[in-house]
Chains A and B, each alone.
Chain A
Amino acid sequence: MSGQGAAAGSRSRPTDAVFALLRLGATVLGRTGGAVLTLVALASLVFLALRLLPGDPAALVLGEQASEADRALIRGKLGLDRPLGAQYLSFLLGLARLDLGDSLARPGTSAFAEVGRALGPTSALAGLAVGLGALLGIAAAVACVGPWLGSRREWLHRAVLVVAATPLLSFAPLATYLLAVRLRVVPLPGDPESGASGLLFASGLLSLPLAAQVARIGRAALLDLGHAKFLDVAAAKGGSPWRVWVVHALPAASAPISVVIAAQLGALLGGAVVLERLFERPGLGTLMLSAYAARDIPVLEASVVAAGLLFVAVQALAIFIHALIDPRGREP
């Protein structure tokens, strides 16, 4: 009997894995449906803000003194002389084909090519920051509940609260001043040869607020689990505190942790723009701000949409990782 059961088990294992993968995919698709909605809403808002708010976009691009003929030329180039519905349709089609026309500031370069060039540095910065923040935060949360630090756990918790309450915009420039100007351990802002250490320092700063939030929520979630039966069982079987907290408790606490990471992504992206400005790094934020200053409408639209896309992609990744760790997060 038992042999038969084992054989059936081994036969169904590959299909089980396929089904599990499909379920995982369905989960990610279902959860990102809302995120895609966010993306379309953001894109539509950029589109509508320029066309529905009072004021002539052509005058925004060229300045008030430009001649009527020049303005008409720009209007034709941006398609502003067509009815709003037709403009919106071609805007959405352009988004789908990743073609929103050429940059106004640099004729001959497509807006999405500019964005593609900027996407790399920003993805590196934001991605590294999410990874570092999650790691640091989870480590701090586990250290806050485990027995290793003894009474110093309270101090760690307080430090986490202080970091969580300190805005990035005030501690990032101060830390840069202290570490780059005073102690000279990290490269100065704007140093073109800063390379990997510059990236690491910037993403380390960017990861701190995320790490503090993850630590705060993760600690609360782990403390909630503290009296769960399965942890007592794991300890009674002779599991070390490390095994009890990291192997048994942490996956069960992954739901609130991935929720807080997903919720912090918008702030992280805003922080990335601020840090790119602070360190004079090339990237999506820098591109967006220069397109804003030059009123380069196609590049501005493309870069805002690309930033939204980055946001959605990382959010989907957070959901995927959660579903991977915690089977309760998968769609039934």
Chain B
Amino acid sequence: MSTDARARRRRNRALSAVAPAALLALVTALLAALSDRSPARLALDLAWAPPSASRPFGSGDAGVDLLALVSHATVRALALAALVSLFGFLVGTPLGAAAGIFRGRFERWTLRACDLVQSFPTFLLALAVLSAVRSPSRLHIGLVFCVTAWAPFARVAAAQARVLSESQFVEAARALGLGSVAIVFVHVIPNLLGPVSVQIGTSAAGVVLGETALGFVGLGPPDGVSLGSLIEQGTLAMLRAPHVLTVGAVAVILVSGSLQLASEGVRRWVHLE
């Protein structure tokens, strides 16, 4: 195969990896931005109205336009998920890489901390921290997820770095007199980005589901623009307006599903290279 064709194939693979999430983000962002629909505008006479031509997803509690609610809530959930997983990536990767290179007590304690954080029931943690805040905002929710977001990245990075630390180019760098910190940042981190990046989609899907669960039990952002609040509305009005529940549930499946597909795409792409 010519290098040209290989490069094209690699580009295609890259596209198929990020396409689901990118498409979802683009469509919802466009919907939210281009239309003049707003989840804050209420039409009381349309409360719980089924889907119609002017409101394709129907209306919810107090006549909120469900199309506007879903698109705004999805954009915000995706933004939160992106920021939290970026934080986890930026903190966890160097930490894990350093643990895999330095070994010894540092690695043991890092992995022990990963165990502790990953075995935490995130939901309880969120409840414990949010209970100290008068009305939790999206910022507070994001901060709670950041407490645990770094651990999976650190674990994958540590496992990869352990393998890399035995490789010849790291040995060569050591022989040339490079310090451990420089080795971590110049030689190790660039070489473990592939496997670690698989984790981003998984993490983001976890954040979206976590935010939805918090919103469902009433710990969501106070403006109520969250997929969890939408599902809560839907379950309360299950007998009267089943379309609300359907819209919310399908939206959650689509968002978390496309993030997982993206992660799976990245995994295939990384492994084929």
Residues of A within 8 A of B (CB): 34-35, 37-38, 41-42, 45-46, 49-50, 53, 55, 57, 60, 165-167, 169-171, 173-174, 176-177, 181, 189, 262-263, 265-267, 269-270, 273-274, 277-278, 285, 288-289, 292-293, 295, 297, 300, 304, 307-308, 311, 315
B134 touches A308 (CB 8 A): no
- Closest beta carbon of chain A to B221's beta carbon, Å: 15
Q: Tell me whether A169 and B213 are in contact in the complex, defined as CB-CB below 8 angstroms, given that A269-B123, A288-B127, A304-B127 are known contacts.
A: yes
Residues of B within 8 A of A (CB): 112, 115-116, 118-125, 127-134, 209, 212-213, 216-219, 228, 231, 234-235, 238-239, 242, 245-246, 248-250, 252-253, 256-257, 260
A174 touches B209 (CB 8 A): no
Residues of B with C-beta under 8 A to A45? 125, 128-129
Complex Cα gap A135–B14 (Å) = 39
Complex Cα gap A215–B259 (Å) = 22
Q: Can you list the 10 inter-chain pairs with the closest CB atoms, starting with the nearest? A: A270-B123, A266-B121, A170-B249, A46-B128, A170-B252, A49-B132, A53-B132, A50-B132, A49-B129, A269-B121
B249 touches A292 (CB 8 A): no
Residues of A with C-beta under 8 A to B131? 46, 49-50, 292, 295, 297, 300
B129 touches A277 (CB 8 A): no
Residues of A with C-beta under 8 A to B249? 169-171, 173-174
A42: which of B120, B212, B235, B256 is its contact (CB, 8 Å)? B120
A169: which of B118, B132, B231 is its contact (CB, 8 Å)? B231
Which of B116, B123, B250 is packed against the most chain A CB atoms within 10 Å? B123
From B253, which residue of chain A is reached at the shortest CB distance? A170
B216: which of A35, A266, A277 is its contact (CB, 8 Å)? A277
Q: Tell me whether A38 and B217 are in contact in the complex, defined as CB-CB below 8 angstroms, given that A173-B231, A174-B245 are known contacts.
A: no
Residues of A with C-beta under 8 A to B129? 45, 49, 53
Complex Cα gap A38–B124 (Å) = 12
A34: which of B116, B127, B231, B238 is its contact (CB, 8 Å)? B116
B217 touches A277 (CB 8 A): yes
- Closest beta carbon of chain A to B159's beta carbon, Å: 16
Residues of B with C-beta under 8 A to A46? 128, 131
Q: Tell me whether A269 and B124 are in contact in the complex, defined as CB-CB below 8 angstroms, given that A55-B132, A167-B253, A177-B238 are known contacts.
A: yes
Complex Cα gap A175–B178 (Å) = 59
Q: Tell me whether A177 and B245 are in contact in the complex, defined as CB-CB below 8 angstroms, given that A41-B116, A60-B132, A60-B134 are known contacts.
A: yes
Mind listing 19 A-B residue pairs with CB under 8 Å?
Answer: A42-B120, A169-B228, A174-B245, A174-B249, A266-B121, A270-B121, A273-B217, A274-B217, A277-B216, A277-B217, A278-B235, A288-B127, A289-B217, A292-B131, A295-B131, A297-B131, A307-B121, A307-B124, A308-B121
B213 touches A274 (CB 8 A): yes
Complex Cα gap A292–B129 (Å) = 11
Residues of A with C-beta under 8 A to B121? 265-267, 269-270, 307-308, 311
From A293, which residue of chain B is reached at the shortest CB distance? B218
Residues of A with C-beta under 8 A to B112? 34
From A262, which residue of chain B is reached at the shortest CB distance? B119
From B148, which residue of chain A is reached at the shortest CB distance? A266
Which of B122, B125, B239, B252 is packed against the most chain A CB atoms within 10 Å? B125
